[in-house]
Structure 1
Amino acid sequence: MRIAIFGTGGAGGYFGAQLALAGEQVVFIARGDHLRALKATGLRLETPAGETIVRAVATDNPAEIGHVDAILVGVKAWQVTDAANAMRPLVGPDTVIVPLQNGVEAATELAAVFGSNTLGGLCGTLSLIAGPGHIRNVGGQNFIKFGELDNKSSDRVERLRQCLVGAKVPVEVPADIVKALWNKFLMVTSFGGVGAITRAPIGVTRAIPETRRLLEQCLQETLAVAKARNVPMADSAVTDTMKFYDTVPANGTTSLQRDIADGKMTELEYWNGAVVRLGREVDVPTPTHRFIYDCLLPLELRARGKIDFPG
């Protein structure tokens, strides 16, 4: 398949590398120093198993590429709308678009532009940009889940699934993609929010009773919002997610936490902020997420150049 990776960050870079190594025709859409490194020396993929150099086409101009079979969208959540406009040259009548963003709103935003070309999608990976052209994966579970937004089976979903299987990427087509999105949303907003305010990796936050309780409170709030929005979440979602946290490598952090620590713009509005906003719409209180959001908001506003800190 001819596959464009629109946004070659941690997730896009990692999964794009796996597809390229399997012989698929991968195009990396990137920019700046990252793009220059990809063009000059290829993508350097570092995993616990070792390092590999992946060579593939890289550009910042989708018009150079033309229509592709599939697009994996790896930009940050707040960039999805702008990315949709930029990726128009890549999208033909049969192109499928799979958003990999954390959160539960990206597919709706993409579908507003591309309609039925859009699938629901999510991923899991502990990967990050370690430097220009350098993607580091620290281990743990790496997977992609996707499917038609109406949950019907389709040939195009099966074709992409087989492609990912061939690249040895763990892949699943869930029976209910919206439920799967909310399960991931529940997991990552709690993990990321508590990690960001404590500045500690998951191995620490899950081990200290006080911060473990914060994780559980966040999960319970998000579950309540999901149920109020008629998402068919399992009653065991909190317990199941806590069990998952206990399997994550002890040094695990989320992109939200890393970006906050580095003074970068983050997906705060689409993580903890979204729990608060979506909860408000259905009259479900979310005090723990609200506390996390309020605590992190000054750092987010500074990163976006909207406020300055004295001194």
Structure 2
Amino acid sequence: MRFAIMGSGGVGGYFGARLAEAGHEVTFIARGEHLAVMRRDGLEVSSIEGDLHLARVNATDDPAQVGAVDAILVAVKAWQVLEAAEAIRPLVGPETLVVPLENGVEAADILAEALGEAHVLEGLCGILAWKAAPGHIKHAGVAPFVRFGERDNHPSERGARLKAAFDAAHGVTAEIPDDIQAAVWGKFLFICAMSGIGAITRAPIGVTRRLPETREMIEGVLAEIAAVARARGVALAADAEARALRFIDALPEASTASMQRDIMGGHPSELESQNGAVVRLGREAGVATPINAMIHAALLPQERKARGEG
């Protein structure tokens, strides 16, 4: 298959590299020094699943140069999805699939509104990876997985074809869940809790899950998110919060979330797409979310400063 990777950092860089390694035609959309190094030296992936170096990669900062592809993996920050949707229009042909791999629960809605419902699958991924240096992706934790499916959960040939492409790739597990909305919210549970608690404490997950006071906060965030999801009609499993907590407990002690790292670095973050979204969607559904509201309010001044708004 022909893939385009919109956002070639830890997530897009890793999954795109594995697809290229498996023989698929992959174009990385990147910019700056990361793009320059990839064009010159290729793409290096240091991974607990096995290291990889692609000596030659297709990489560009202009999607219009690529033409229509079979599938686009959107792996930008959640707050960049609308901008990404406009940028990838030249990549979208009549049969092109667009799969968001963002944190959060609203990316597919944004893409569908911008590009047309027929093109968009719901999607999510799990991986602890980041851009260690230009042209170098570091994968340090979590067995990488992608999950995707039609937004109404009907089986489709195009979904099966995309799964087969991932199945051929080393170091990736692909799945089409019975209920993709429940899967997206299930992932949102742990990443939002991990992001919020890490961002306000500046501590790795190994510390915050161990201290009784911060562990209680994590559990409270999980309960609020689950309540919002169920109020919105998402069929979360009865043990969804317990599963999310087990996932958090299994992470390497030094793990941090990307939102936490962005906030600690003074950069714009996914605050509004994570804890802020819980508050906003909870308000719409009539569900109180006091812990997420506190986290959002505490981080908002720095977020606005990072965006040059305050």
Query: Where in structure 2 are the equivalents of 1:135-174 lying within 5 Å?
Result: 135-168=137-170, 169-174=172-177
Secondary structure of the residue aligned to 2:155 is coil
How far does residue 201 in structure 1 lie from its aligned partner after superposition? 1.1
Match of residue 127 from structure 1: 129
Match of residue 217 from structure 1: 220
- Does the 8 Å contact 2:208/2:214 carry over to 1? yes
Query: Where in structure 2 are the equivalents of 1:1-311 lying within 5 Å?
Result: 1-48=1-48, 51-54=51-54, 55-115=56-116, 116-168=118-170, 169-307=172-310
d(CA) in 2 for partners of 1:34 and 1:9?
9
- Residue by residue, what CA displacement relative to the aligned partner does 1:143-169 show, whole Å, maximum 9, x if unpaired? 100000110111110001000010031
How far does residue 49 in structure 1 lie from its aligned partner after superposition? 5.4
d(CA) in 2 for partners of 1:113 and 1:294?
30
Secondary structure of the residue aligned to 2:93 is coil
Report percent identity of matched pairs.
53
Secondary structure of the residue aligned to 2:143 is coil
How far does residue 19 in structure 1 lie from its aligned partner after superposition? 0.7
d(CA) in 1 for partners of 2:275 and 2:258?
13
d(CA) in 1 for partners of 2:49 and 2:195?
26
d(CA) in 1 for partners of 2:244 and 2:208?
14
How far does residue 242 in structure 1 lie from its aligned partner after superposition? 1.1
How far does residue 139 in structure 1 lie from its aligned partner after superposition? 2.1
- Residue by residue, what CA displacement relative to the aligned partner does 1:183-231 show, whole Å, maximum 9, x if unpaired? 1111111011001111111111111111111100000000111111111
d(CA) in 2 for partners of 1:294 and 1:261?
16
- Does the 8 Å contact 2:126/2:142 carry over to 1? no
The residue identity in structure 1 corresponding to 2:285 is V
What TM-score, normalized by structure 2, do the two folds share? Answer: 0.97
d(CA) in 2 for partners of 1:140 and 1:103?
18
d(CA) in 2 for partners of 1:184 and 1:50?
25
How far does residue 121 in structure 1 lie from its aligned partner after superposition? 0.4
Once the two structures are overlaid, the 10-residue window that deviates more, 146-155 or 51-60, is 51-60
The residue identity in structure 2 corresponding to 1:5 is I
Secondary structure of the residue aligned to 2:230 is helix
How far does residue 113 in structure 1 lie from its aligned partner after superposition? 2.1
Q: Per the alignment, do residues 271 and 207 of structure 1 end up closer, same or farther by CA in structure 2, a change over 3 Å counting?
A: same
Secondary structure of the residue aligned to 1:125 is strand
Secondary structure of the residue aligned to 2:186 is helix
How far does residue 137 in structure 1 lie from its aligned partner after superposition? 0.8
> Aligned Cα RMSD in Å?
1.0
Moved over 6 A (4+): none
d(CA) in 2 for partners of 1:182 and 1:106?
12
How far does residue 23 in structure 1 lie from its aligned partner after superposition? 1.2
What TM-score, normalized by structure 1, do the two folds share? Answer: 0.96
Secondary structure of the residue aligned to 1:164 is helix
How far does residue 67 in structure 1 lie from its aligned partner after superposition? 0.7
Higher share in strand: 2
Secondary structure of the residue aligned to 1:71 is strand
The residue identity in structure 1 corresponding to 2:296 is Y
Once the two structures are overlaid, the 10-residue window that deviates more, 237-246 or 185-194, is 237-246
d(CA) in 2 for partners of 1:272 and 1:284?
14
How far does residue 131 in structure 1 lie from its aligned partner after superposition? 1.4
d(CA) in 1 for partners of 2:142 and 2:254?
10
The residue identity in structure 2 corresponding to 1:79 is Q
Secondary structure of the residue aligned to 1:103 is coil
The residue identity in structure 2 corresponding to 1:10 is G
d(CA) in 2 for partners of 1:37 and 1:277?
40
